[in-house]
Amino acid sequence: MKSAPATPKRSDRRRMLITPEGIALPVTLASRGTRFGALLIDLTIIVVAMIVSAFGLYYAASKIMQMNGQSLEKSDPTMPGAVQFALIVYIALLFLLRHAYFLYFELGPRGATPGKRMTGVRVAARDGGRLTTEMVLARNLLRDVEISLPIVAVFSLIGGGLAEWAALGWLAVFALFPLFNRDRLRAGDLVAGSWVVEAPRLKLADALSTGQTAASGTSQATGASYKFGEEELAIYGEFELQTLERVLRENRTEAMAAVHEAICRKIGWNPGAGDERAFLEAYYTQLRARLEGGMRMGQRKADKHG
Amino acid sequence: MAIFSRLTGKQARAEAAIEAAALRSDRFRQEREGDWRRLEAVVTRMEAGRLRKISDADVLELPVLYRTVASSLSVARETSLDAATLAYLEALVQRAWFLVYGPRTTLWSWLARFFGGEWSRAVRSIWPELLVALALMVAGTVIGWQLCAADPDWFYAMMPGQPGDLRVPGASHAVLKGTLFGKQGQDGLSVFAAYLFSHNAGVAILCFALGFAFGIPPVLLLIQNTTMLGAMLWLYHGQGLTLDVVGWLSIHGTTELLAILLAGGAGLHIGRSMAFPGTRSVLDAAAAAGQRTATVMAGVVLMLVAAGMLEGLGRQLIDSTPARLAVGYGMLAFWLAYFFLLRRVPAGSETE
């Protein structure tokens, strides 16, 4: 049987989390690229909201002034009440968009901003406990230093000197923090005790071993009966079983033929053709029955070498 | 057969399927699949909806189903080699876990707890850093004053020069007094107040956020901001306007400087926890300090709203020194009493 294509990039992001009930849950950390993408989506939403609300407030204020018979063009040193009000609303709105946008969404049941939701990630507590309001507050208070300040620093480079470069370099430590630690923590995550993980959504796959062929070991197509003996099943372990499961679920003819041939060669059967799937389903079910029986006795066989 | 006839058709089919399954682990799965799918449905509904729209039944069912499915996962890990089922269970338990242990409070109940004692408790818990921040601010003020007294040129170095600013060394008594009083008629005060709040809150958040670099930046920020205060005091003292400028600064300054003190203290607290984590790891120490000080910082932003209102509206509308002093020190007394006399621990606290 061919060895499974290893995915080192993904396994590098696997972490074990112990829930308060003592159950170990595997979580996958969100990749840096995903998080950057999520951030870009969120920032786009914020900037668009800022622009839309600016136009909206401008329009509303000028409408009200028209009704009162005033106009914005009039060079009057005093500000009309409508403009004052619109400005206050706008300043408050900018503040809320910058600081409360992330808070509001991350405190919701999904624990994710729209950008995170679209990219399939969410915020979680690093210790496996409850994600508290304080954590969400803390991780978002540091956003200023990580995002706004470096952007300002980049623009201040235009016509700037050594001091501006030094400031940018110093701020880059915050902005690039996720690049330099294994858990991809931003400075905000570090201070809050949180991290960002992938939010899994898996459908329950059908059981492979309950089909007619699998359960009885008899092919419905050809009527051939597949019964494997003890030594024919003893050559493989759990790793090979999982590879076989994946091949059956993917259901690609060439892959199944290759695996079918490999197993037949190994157990000394004469590989026929045309009934590979039935053969593999029967072998899968009987191998699983044998290995699970061993598990109940406390004997596990990790792979063909074990 | 008598038993089977009492079952509904669906149940009978399910029973038959369980009978037919060859593997014990498949029978296990088929017996429990109903619970798994119910939890999946509840979780999907809760994830989609706003908290208010979720039915009571779902809320009650969630923890029970979560524990059932979590125990299914534990058993399956020991008895089943069906990788797809295990992956599904792990994902489902994780999704439910996020909901069961997610942020559980609504904003309102959090605010009630926050004002009901959590904020003042968080402030008290960082008192050593608050004393350090206070010492730094006093030192900054004294340094600012002394430097200007020694050489008036320092004034220009410390105050960012604005063209047309009348407040420079050598300005007459009347000019300086004019900057303190007589602004009631000024327009756009509320805009000014909103701007001041937004600006000051930004500075305070910065002060806190920079504490991350082992607390050095907050020290510099605290000193730099208060040398400006010292320079201002020196300038007005020279023309015999000390009490008037204190009143002018105090009406909002007691609130604003206290907020900056809290923000600086919070920053120092994070810095100190990371530099000297004690028996914990640096990461754990930083996380604990961050969560404690986040509460302080939420309060700081609210205090700066109050300070912005007092500066933008109160100072311009109240035009006499005694009244300004009364408001300023009344606010200070209020804050101190709130922080250090209110020692109630609110019910349902999320932190330790």
What is the mean pLDDT of the segment spanning B143-158? Answer: 83
Closest CB to A144: pick one of B93, B198, B209: B209
Better pLDDT: A52 or B341: A52
Are B154 and B235 within one domain?
Answer: yes
Does B20 map to a domain? yes
Q: State which residue of chain B sits closest to A93, comparing Cα positions.
A: B198
The predicted structure's pLDDT at residue A38:
93
**One domain for residues B160 and B80:** no
Report how far residue A233's alpha carbon sits from residue B94's, in angstroms, rounded to the nearest whole number. 34
* pLDDT per residue as tens digits for the range B222-257: 887 788 888 888 888 887 787 888 888 888 888 888
Contact list, B98 vs chain A (CB under 8 Å): 111, 122, 124, 131, 199
> Would B134 be classed as within a structural domain?
yes
Q: Report the pLDDT value the prediction gives residue B348, as an integer from 0 to 100.
A: 57
Beta-carbon contacts of B153 under 8 Å, excluding residues fewer than 6 positions away, are: none
Distances (CA, A) of A239 to A42, A277, B167: 41, 19, 79
Among the candidates B100, B134, B156, a domain finishes at B100
Residues B88 and B157 in one domain: no
Best residue in B23, B40, B184 for a mutation probing chain A (most A CBs within 10 Å): B23
What's the confidence (pLDDT) of residue A39? 92
Going from the C-alpha of A85 to that of each of A32, A61, A95, the distances in angstroms are 42, 8, 16
A43 pLDDT band (50/70/90 cuts)?
very high
Q: Is the pTM of this model over 0.90?
A: no
Contact B209 A246 (CB under 8 A): no
Which of the 8 DSSP states describes residue A121? E
Contact B47 A110 (CB under 8 A): yes
Q: Mean pLDDT, chain B, as a whole number?
A: 78
Q: How distant, in Å, are the alpha carbons of A107, B158, B209, B246 from that of A163? A: 39, 18, 21, 35
**B208 lies in the same domain as B300:** yes
Determine, yes or no, domain membership for B4: no
- Count of Cβ atoms closer than 10 Å to residue B235 Cβ: 22
Band the pLDDT of A77: cuts 50, 70, 90: low
Q: Using CB atoms, which residue from B26, B98, B294 is nearest to A111? A: B98
**One domain for residues B62 and B126:** no
Q: Are strands A24-28 and A14-18 parallel, antiparallel or unpaired?
A: antiparallel
Chain B contact set for A207 (CB, 8 A): 21, 26, 29-30, 82, 85
Contact list, B50 vs chain A (CB under 8 Å): 108
Is there a domain that residue B348 lies in?
no
Domains of chain B: total: 2
For residue A195, the surrounding DSSP H or E stretch is: strand A194-198
In this structure, the answer to whether residues B293 and B169 fall within a common structural domain is yes
> Å from A129 to nearest chain B CA?
7
Whether residue A191 and residue B270 make contact (CB cut-off 8 A), yes or no, is yes
Distance CA B143, CA B39 (A): 65
Is residue B2 in some structural domain? no
Cβ A130–B101 below 8 Å, yes or no?
yes
User: Mutate which of A141, A185, A299 to test chain B, going by most B C-beta atoms within 10 A?
Assistant: A141
Nearest CA in chain A to B294: A138
Structural domain for B79, as ranges: 9-100
User: Could you say which of B52, B67, B100 is where a domain stops?
Assistant: B100
User: Does residue B309 share a domain with residue B229?
Assistant: yes
Cα A52 → chain centroid: 31
Q: How confident is the model at residue A48 (pLDDT cuts 50, 70, 90)?
A: very high
Mean predicted lDDT score pLDDT of chain A: 80
User: Measured between alpha carbons, how far apart are the two ends of chain A, in Å?
Assistant: 15
- A251: helix, coil or strand? coil
Please list every residue in chain A whose beta carbon sits closer than 8 Å to the beta carbon of residue B107.
107
**Domain boundary, last residue among B100, B123, B139:** B100
Identify whether residues B193 and B274 lie together within a single domain.
yes
Residues B145 and B31 reside in one and the same domain: no
B148 and B61 in one domain?
no
**Together in a domain, B277 and B250:** yes
Does the complex come out with an ipTM higher than 0.90?
A: no
Does the residue B325 lie in any domain? yes
pLDDT in tens, A168-206: 877 787 788 888 888 888 888 888 889 898 887 777 777
Closest Cα of chain B to A268: distance in Å?
Answer: 25
Percent of chain B clearing pLDDT 90 (strictly above): 5
| B288 and B171 assigned to the same domain | yes
Residue at B349 is within a domain: no
B352 falls within a domain:
no
